[in-house]
Amino acid sequence: MNSLEANIRDNKTKGELNAIRNSGEVPAIVYGGKEENQKVSISKKKLKYLIEKENFLSNIITLNLGGKNLNVLPREVKYHILSDDPTHVDFLRILPGVKIKIEVPVNFINHEKSPGLKRGGVLNIVRRKVELKCPSEKIPENITIDLDGVDIGESFKISSVKLDSEVTPTIQGRDFVIATLAAPTVMKEPEKPAEAETTEGEPGAEGSEAAAADGEKTPAEGEKKDADDKKGADKKPSEEKK
């Protein structure tokens, strides 16, 4: 579980709020339950580090506030329009028994053990996150789908996911699809055998033999005869006897 040091703040003006941000802190508020909302500030550097990690908005964080640990869930982060730095965070108190709605990421494992993927299949992810309703102390880190042994044409529905009895999807009444393993979009053509790669229209050795058998001159024989005829035509006729 991730943790953050939090300082109580008591600013009343916009200028005081900007001064907190200029000092490297990010204003935040903790709400939920019967207690009043608590205004705090946290380190921007440490906050950015946690945000850059995966699934910040679905992970419980421990705030060290005034020497006491308080478990909270990040609910909303506001960012600067130009620098994209976080400027404010809302934290929800984690209270036993209180149910909340939260989007939980879907995690796929054992890609290398899927025969469908080995044959070129494509994992088509329909939902990268699934919204759940669950007690705040039973929030799952993710929904895990195992691809071991999965072949082309198979699909994963919410009914195939093992969830705690108190954890339910917010979409009710239908068994919605999370992902499918589809066939490859482009099939590789088989290579043409080398012996079949004869240029169309060019006779092979068999064609020449067949032509000779039918009494037809092959191209080589025809050229030889034409040359002989021409040579004979060039000879001077012998003078007639007087």
Q: In the prediction, which pLDDT does 139 show? A: 87
Q: What are phi and psi of 27, to 5 degrees?
A: -65, 145
Pick one of 2.40.240.10, 3.30.870.10, 1.10.1740.10, 3.30.70.3270 as the CATH number of 2-94: 2.40.240.10
Between the alpha carbon of residue 4 and those of residues 35, 37, 62, 65, 70, the distances in Å are 20, 18, 6, 9, 10
Q: Is the distance from CB of 77 to CB of 86 less than 8 angstroms? A: yes
Please tell me the distance from the alpha carbon of residue 92 to that of residue 1, in angstroms, as a whole number: 16
Three-state DSSP state, 208: helix
Q: Where are the alpha helices (DSSP H) in 110-188?
A: 115-118
Answer whether 2-94 and 100-182 agree in fold: no
Q: In the prediction, which pLDDT does 229 show? A: 52
CATH architecture label of 100-182: Beta Complex (2.170)
Q: In the prediction, which pLDDT does 154 show? A: 95
Quickly state the pLDDT bin for 213 (edges 50, 70, 90).
very low
pLDDT mean over 212-229: 49
pLDDT at residue 7 greater than cutoff 80: yes
- Can you give the residue ranges of every domain in the chain? 2-94, 100-182
Q: Which residues pair with 155 in a beta bridge?
A: 180
Is the whole model's pTM more than 0.85, yes or no? no
For 127-161, write each residue's pLDDT tens digit: 999 999 998 888 888 899 999 999 999 999 999 99
